[in-house]
Structure 1
């Protein structure tokens, strides 16, 4: 019988506690990625990215299951940044945000597998961002992360504490992009009960 792997249970990067900042070292990981810009609640590109990345991720999963390696499709993730990071951490000016939507891809998949999954998914439905979807790696290394409980718009104070207190207080400096991992589905869960891992890659001073 094929054992289904749940990466949320076996990967250290998917573990975090509310109210606790934790330093960990992450391995190089590959993802399906789509880039975009602007307020995710408004710009069509964000919805189109979701409408593209999920079908391809599930076609990859089904192809892998047919080959004897089943797994749970990992949670949606995102990289977020702005030319002035205060637009993200404090002012929350979403029109100035840049983002990369991501879904983790197990290491046994390769670029040809992704291309095959895109073709199969496109034969079933329109993928509005198929030409923008890519398989790429992320090497974050040493990072700080915590678990945020509640609405996405309430992340600001937690991010301030991370960037202004914990990171410099431990002799660290931010590097790379702010990373979020969405453990709850906002379509099914009240905003007050959403669970989001907030991560920041860092280097030692």
Structure 2
């Protein structure tokens, strides 16, 4: 049976439009670090690098050597961990040119470090994207988090973060760090800003 993240992992990707606590397990990702304004044209090169690798894994069953444990699945959504450069954190407005980010796409359990390296080398032969050299394959274990579904423009996310932080205060939870994760359920290239669906998540402690 095909693995569908929208069905098997609803708790991770289809959260409610109000805050909830979730324990996020360790998962493997192709990831790439960057900085600057995500509205710059070059930002799409980061996304293209990750998707080219992810779809290469998805189609690897057609290669001469099928990966051990391969199963059919839907490619996972794009995610990002976002932060600000130190000098921009105390400003009254968000300077997007000072953003620091790690973009990533989750990979299924059968992807090993060796397979990931092989996939990167194969794609580099076919694609001219120089950012492929910056892609890493790592595991991340977020653990206890608060998350909610934000519906609307990315610029309106602070409203949802305020709701999440109020939820933490009311439930004895402490936000561990200012960085946060975004999971892009909608395709921003095809969706009106007011209809975008983005899971917002940050780590907490009791």
Whether contact under 8 Å (1:65, 1:71) holds in the other structure is no
CA spacing shift, 1:95–1:86, aligned 2, 3 Å = closer
Q: TM-score, normalised by structure 1?
A: 0.89
Whether contact under 8 Å (2:88, 2:98) holds in the other structure is no
1:121 and 1:170 map into 2 onto residues whose CA distance is 47
2:57 corresponds to: 60
Measured after TM superposition, the shift of residue 87 of structure 1 is: 4.8
1:8 corresponds to: 6
Measured after TM superposition, the shift of residue 31 of structure 1 is: 0.7
Structure 2 portions without partners, runs of 5+: none
- Matched pairs, number: 199
Instruction: Give CA-to-partner distance per residue, 1:105-159, whole Å, 9 cap, x none.
Output: 1121111111121122122221221111001111110100000111111111111
2:102 and 2:45 map into 1 onto residues whose CA distance is 13
2:149 and 2:51 map into 1 onto residues whose CA distance is 24
- Aligned with residue 112 of structure 2, among 110, 118, 122: 110
2:29 corresponds to: 31
Structure 1 portions without partners, runs of 5+: none
2:51 and 2:121 map into 1 onto residues whose CA distance is 14
Q: Return 165-174 or 72-81, whichever deviates more.
A: 165-174
Measured after TM superposition, the shift of residue 64 of structure 1 is: 4.6
Q: Secondary structure at the match of 1:115?
A: helix
Q: Secondary structure at the match of 1:34?
A: strand
- Aligned with residue 97 of structure 1, among 96, 99, 107: 99
1:51 and 1:16 map into 2 onto residues whose CA distance is 26
Structure 1 outlier segments of 4+, above 3 Å: 64-68, 83-88
Q: Secondary structure at the match of 2:59?
A: helix
Q: Secondary structure at the match of 1:47?
A: helix
